[in-house]
């Protein structure tokens, strides 16, 4: 049995969701269902104590991140520059 759910969205959010669904050739309802399922799946892998959960975590990171990760020396330099400048994020 199916259940109909009404979701209240502001106009900007609705437009963003609809555009994303259209890019993926899905209806808004299908896209929202998939987004909900992904959130539930993420909860299952949140502990990262099992090898499979860790593998899925890194796959998710790789799929959403772009570019190249700086090496450790670059990270250290950025951290040290931040400390010496006194800036906070």
Q: What's the whole-number mean pLDDT along residues 4-25?
A: 94
- pLDDT at residue number 75: 87
Q: pTM for this structure?
A: 0.50
The per-residue pLDDT for range 19-43, each reduced to its tens digit, is 999 999 999 999 999 999 988 887 7
Of 43, 75, 36, the C-alpha closest to 57 is: 43
Q: How far is CA 75 from CA 79, 80, 85, in A?
A: 6, 9, 15
Query: CA 88: distance to chain centroid?
Result: 24
């Amino acid at each position: 049995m199916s259940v109909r759910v009404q979701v209240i969205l502001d106009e900007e959010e609705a437009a963003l969701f609809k555009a994303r669904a259209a890019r993926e050739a899905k209806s808004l309802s299908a896209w929202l269902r998939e987004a909900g399922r992904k959130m539930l799946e993420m909860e299952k892998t949140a502990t990262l104590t099992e090898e499979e959960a860790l593998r899925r975590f890194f796959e998710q990171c790789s799929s959403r991140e772009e570019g190249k990760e700086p090496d450790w020396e670059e990270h250290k330099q950025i951290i040290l520059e931040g400390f010496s400048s006194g800036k906070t994020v």
